[in-house]
Amino acid sequence: MHTIFHRAHNSFANGLAKIKPDWDDKMLYQNERKILIGVWQNIVFGEYLPLIIGQPAIENYKIDVTDTYNEKTDATTTNEGGIAFRFGHSTVSRLIALQDEDYSLSMPPETFKDHYFLTKLYHIFDGRGREDVFRWTVDSACQKMDRGRDHGFPGYNAYRRYCGHDPARDFSTMRGGLVNMDSDVASLLQKVYR
């Protein structure tokens, strides 16, 4: 997404420069920025968020996806909120498919883990293979946990208390354990945190 928006920024700025030749670089940048922010907000609030949290939550929290700006609204987020929203990385497929410049498949989809360190893929198409790397992702759960530690986040039970739950003392789904969690998920956590 970063690459796509970077390129869109340049494209919009070039287009504005053609229709507003009297604008200086700062004026072009600020106006292009407004356009790109509008595009981003439309994607997030109009398409992505309704898919992630569902229409009932949109209605329950009164999220107006048609006119969301209110200058009196405090738009700050907690440190945890910014990190937690990175969950989107886990929604990306673990399969990759190398694509040519026209985004046509040049190989059948395969697991990313089998290709991550194959640097020859980065140099195909006359050295433009790295462009395809931008379309790939890795499971970055460890990076997220490290990022939380770097930011000084408290442990799991602190968040349980914050949400009004008793702290968990074990991995059962009975009283004193992970009572608000699916038993299969609790079992997986117990295997990871022996």
Separation of alpha carbons 137 and 133, rounded Å: 8
Strand partners, 53: none
Instruction: Report whether 143 contacts 133 (CB < 8 A).
Output: no
Dihedrals phi, psi of 111, to nearest 5 degrees: -70, 140
Instruction: Report whether 60 contacts 79 (CB < 8 A).
Output: no
Nearest to 63 by CA among 75, 51, 55: 55
Q: Tokens 């379309």 label which residue?
A: 135
Size (the chain), residues: 194
Q: Which two tokens stand for residue 176?
A: 């004193």
Q: Which two tokens stand for residue 104?
A: 């046509």
Annotated binding site for heme b: 89
Annotated binding site: 89
Strand partners, 95: 111
